[in-house]
Amino acid sequence: MILDVRSRIDVSSRMNKEQARKVLSEIFNTKPYNVSFSNHSRKQMKKRSLMTGDIVNVLHAGKILSEPEVENGT
Position 36 confidence tier, pLDDT thresholds 50, 70, 90: confident
Residue 34 forms part of a structural domain: yes
Between 58 and 14, where is the model more confident? 58
| Contacts for 59 with CB less than 8 Å, ≥ 6 apart | 24, 27, 28, 35
Residue 6 forms part of a structural domain: no
Domain that holds residue 21: 16-61
Residue 44 forms part of a structural domain: yes
Residue 57 forms part of a structural domain: yes
How do residues 6-21 score in pLDDT, each as one tens digit?
555 565 677 788 888 8
Record the pTM: 0.59
Residue 51 forms part of a structural domain: yes
Query: Angle at CA 51, nearest 5°, toward 20 and 53?
Result: 55
Looking at the 3D structure of the chain, how many domains does it have? 1
